[in-house]
C-alpha cells in the first residue's frame, strides 16, 4: 500500500468528569479543531490541498452530531472548500479514519487527507447515542444477544482461564509503563497543550488519567466492576446478561467477574489527527514522511464474545503486508480490557516485551473515537525513539469487529 504519514498529533487524554474534567468545558468541535490546526503548523503543508478530513466519533449526537468533521475544520478556520465527514466503527473509529485516508491516497483518487478522531466522554459516555449494542432490533436480538463489553471481557477471561492476579498484573504494568513514559517524555512529540479558546490559558498539557500510585495491593482490593451488570434481567424472558452470555458459551459454566476499574479502559476526553499523503504529493512538495501505511484491515468476529477480533484483524493486515507477527517491533493493542490484550497476545504468540510498551488505555484512558488515531502517533514516536521499523496498531470494537494497521518507519 502506498500511503504515507506526514505527522500525527494528539491532545492529552483527560479523565472524563461531567463539568469537571480538564477538557470537559470545550466544545468537542473545538477540541478537534485545535488538534487539526497543529498539522499545518508542524508539517508546513497548505491545507487548501486537502482532499478530505475523515473523523471517527462514536456518539454522534448533540455537540458530537451535525457531522463533527466538517464543523471542526470550519472551526479551525480552514478553507470552506475542504470537505469532511464523520464515521463510526465504535472503538475502532479513529483507526478506521486512517484506513480510509490511506485507501484514498493509495488508490490515486486523493493526495492529502486528514484522518482523526475525537470523543468527549465527559458529555457523552458509553452508549450515549441510546442505540445500546443493537439499536433495539428484537429480531436480530433473538439471533445474537450482544451483551455489553464488560460482560464480554469477563466472559473472555473466563473462557481463556485468566486469573484475577494475571489481569491485575497487566493493569499494574499499564500504569507503571505509562508513568515511565510520562517521566521520560516519551509522549511529547505527539502531544500539544489544549488551551482555552478565548483566554489562551492552558487547560491540559499532559495525560491526567493515569494513577501512578497504583500498587498490586490496591488493585487486588478493587471490587469487580460488572457483577451487578451481569445480574441485570435484560433478556427477552427476563434472563440476566450473564445467563445470555452463557447461553452462547455454555462451556464457560459461569461468568467469572474479574475486571475492575483497574483493569478496564478509562473513560476519557481526547482527540487525535494524522496527516496522510500520496507518494506523488510528497514528491511534488519535497516532503519527507514519517512512516508508510503498509496495510490496513477490518474484520467481523463473534458479536456475542465481541472483543476477540484484534488477533484476526492483525493477521489479515500482516498477510496483506507479507509479514509475520514476529516481524513487528511494537504492538499497540488497545487496552479495552486486560483480557483483550492477553487473549490477542496468546492467539498470536506475542512477546510481552513488544506490546503496549508505554502502557495503554487502562492507565491513559480511552476516548472511544479518538484512540485509534492517538495510538498511531504513540507507535510512531516510540519506533523513532528506539530506531525500530514496524508497528501494528489494533483495536477491538463493540459488535464483534476489529481494525488493524501496519505502519513502517521511512
Ligand atoms: C470499569 C468502569 C465501569 C469503572 O468505572 P468507575 O468505577 O467509575 O471507575 P473509576 O476509574 O472512576 O474508579 C473508581 C474507583 O476505583 C479506584 N481505582 C480505579 N483505578 C484504580 C487503580 N488503578 N488503582 C487503585 N485504585 C483505583 C479508585 O478508588 C476510584 O475512585 P476515585 O476516582 O475516587 O479515586 C469504567 O471505567 C468502564 O466502563 N470502563 C470500560 C469502558 C469501555 O467499555 N470502553 C469500551 C471498550 S470496548
Percent pLDDT > 70 in the chain is 100
Residue 93 pLDDT class (50, 70, 90 cuts): very high
pLDDT (average), residues 337-354: 98
Whether ligand 1 lies within 6 angstroms of the CB of 263 is answered as no
Nearest CA to ligand 1 atom 5: 261
pTM of whole model > 0.95?
Answer: yes
Residue 42: what pLDDT? 98
C-alpha dihedral (352, 356, 362, 366), degrees to nearest 10 = -150
The answer to whether 366 and 265 are in contact (CB under 8 A) is yes
The answer to whether 249 and 159 are in contact (CB under 8 A) is yes
More confident residue, 357 or 305: 357
Residue 68: what pLDDT? 98
The answer to whether 308 and 301 are in contact (CB under 8 A) is yes
pLDDT (average), residues 346-365: 98
Helix, strand, coil share (%) of the chain residues, nearest 5:
40, 20, 40
First to last CA, the chain: 14
The answer to whether 380 and 406 are in contact (CB under 8 A) is no
Measured in angstroms, how far is the CA atom of residue 258 from the centroid of ligand 1? 13
pLDDT (average), residues 229-238: 95
- Residue 2 CB burial class (10 angstroms; 0-12, 13-18, ≥19): middle
Whether ligand 1 lies within 6 angstroms of the CB of 339 is answered as no
Mean residue pLDDT of the chain comes to 97
Residue 131: what pLDDT? 95
* Cα separation, 280 vs 287, whole angstroms: 10
Residue 292: what pLDDT? 98
Mutate to test the pocket of ligand 1, among 179, 228, 232, 261 (most ligand atoms within 8 A of CB): 261
Measured in angstroms, how far is the CA atom of residue 154 from the centroid of ligand 1? 15
Residue 45 pLDDT class (50, 70, 90 cuts): very high
Nearest CA to ligand 1 atom 16: 261
pLDDT (average), residues 250-275: 98
pLDDT (average), residues 15-44: 98
Residue 330 pLDDT class (50, 70, 90 cuts): very high
Residue ranges of alpha helices (H) inside 6-92 are 28-43, 68-75
Q: Which atom of ligand 1 is nearest to the CA of 260?
A: 1
CB atoms < 10 A from the CB of 138, how many?
A: 8
Residue 30 pLDDT class (50, 70, 90 cuts): very high
CB atoms < 10 A from the CB of 400, how many?
A: 21
Residue 258: what pLDDT? 98
* Cα separation, 27 vs 296, whole angstroms: 31
The phi, psi pair for 344, rounded to 5°, reads: -65, -45
Choosing from 91, 111, 209, 259, which is the catalytic residue?
91
Nearest CA to ligand 1 atom 6: 261
Residue 107: what pLDDT? 98
* Cα separation, 205 vs 271, whole angstroms: 13
Catalytic-residue membership of 196: no
Nearest CA-CA partner of 115 in 64, 39, 206: 39
* Cα separation, 273 vs 191, whole angstroms: 11
Amino acid at each position: 500500500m502506498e500511503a504515507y504519514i506526514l505527522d500525527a498529533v494528539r491532545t492529552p487524554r483527560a479523565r472524563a468528569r461531567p463539568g469537571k474534567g480538564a477538557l470537559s468545558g470545550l466544545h468537542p468541535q473545538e477540541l478537534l479543531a485545535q488538534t487539526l490546526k497543529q498539522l499545518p503548523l508542524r508539517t508546513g503543508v497548505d491545507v487548501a490541498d486537502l482532499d478530505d478530513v475523515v473523523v471517527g466519533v462514536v456518539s454522534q449526537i448533540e455537540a458530537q452530531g451535525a457531522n463533527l468533521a466538517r464543523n471542526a475544520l470550519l472551526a479551525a478556520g480552514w478553507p470552506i472548500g475542504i470537505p469532511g465527514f464523520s464515521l463510526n466503527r465504535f472503538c475502532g473509529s479513529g483507526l478506521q479514519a486512517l484506513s480510509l485516508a490511506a485507501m484514498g491516497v493509495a488508490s490515486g483518487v486523493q493526495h492529502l487527507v486528514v484522518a482523526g478522531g475525537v470523543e468527549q466522554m465527559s458529555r457523552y459516555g458509553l452508549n450515549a447515542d441510546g442505540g445500546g449494542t443493537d439499536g433495539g432490533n428484537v429480531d436480530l436480538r433473538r439471533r445474537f444477544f450482544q451483551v455489553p463489553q464488560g460482560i464480554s471481557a469477563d466472559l473472555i477471561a473466563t473462557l481463556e482461564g485468566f486469573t484475577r492476579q494475571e489481569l491485575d498484573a497487566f493493569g499494574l504494568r499499564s500504569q507503571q509503563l505509562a508513568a515511565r513514559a510520562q517521566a521520560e517524555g516519551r509522549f511529547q512529540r505527539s502531544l500539544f497543550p489544549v488551551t482555552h479558546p478565548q483566554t489562551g490559558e492552558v487547560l491540559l498539557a499532559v495525560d491526567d488519567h493515569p494513577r501512578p500510585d497504583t500498587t498490586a495491593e490496591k488493585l487486588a482490593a478493587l471490587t469487580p466492576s460488572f457483577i451487578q451488570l451481569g445480574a441485570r434481567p435484560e433478556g427477552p424472558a427476563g434472563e440476566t446478561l450473564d445467563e445470555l452470555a452463557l447461553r452462547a458459551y455454555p462451556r464457560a459454566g459461569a461468568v467469572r467477574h474479574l475486571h475492575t476499574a483497574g483493569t478496564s479502559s478509562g473513560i476519557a476526553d481526547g482527540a487525535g489527527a494524522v496527516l496522510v499523503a500520496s507518494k506523488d504529493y510528497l514528491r511534488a512538495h519535497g516532503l519527507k514522511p514519517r512512516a508508510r501505511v503498509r496495510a490496513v484491515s477490518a474484520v467481523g468476529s463473534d458479536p456475542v464474545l465481541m472483543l476477540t477480533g484484534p488477533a484476526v484483524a492483525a493477521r489479515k493486515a500482516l498477510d496483506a503486508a507479507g509479514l509475520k507477527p514476529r516481524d513487528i517491533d511494537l504492538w499497540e493493542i488497545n487496552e479495552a480490557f486486560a483480557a483483550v490484550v492477553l487473549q490477542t497476545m496468546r492467539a498470536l504468540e506475542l512477546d510481552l516485551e513488544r506490546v503496549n510498551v508505554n502502557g495503554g488505555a487502562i492507565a491513559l484512558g480511552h476516548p472511544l473515537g479518538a484512540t485509534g488515531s492517538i495510538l498511531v502517533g504513540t507507535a510512531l514516536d516510540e519506533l523513532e525513539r528506539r530506531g525500530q521499523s514496524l508497528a501494528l496498531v489494533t483495536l477491538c470494537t463493540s459488535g464483534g469487529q476489529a481494525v488493524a494497521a501496519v505502519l513502517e518507519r521511512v
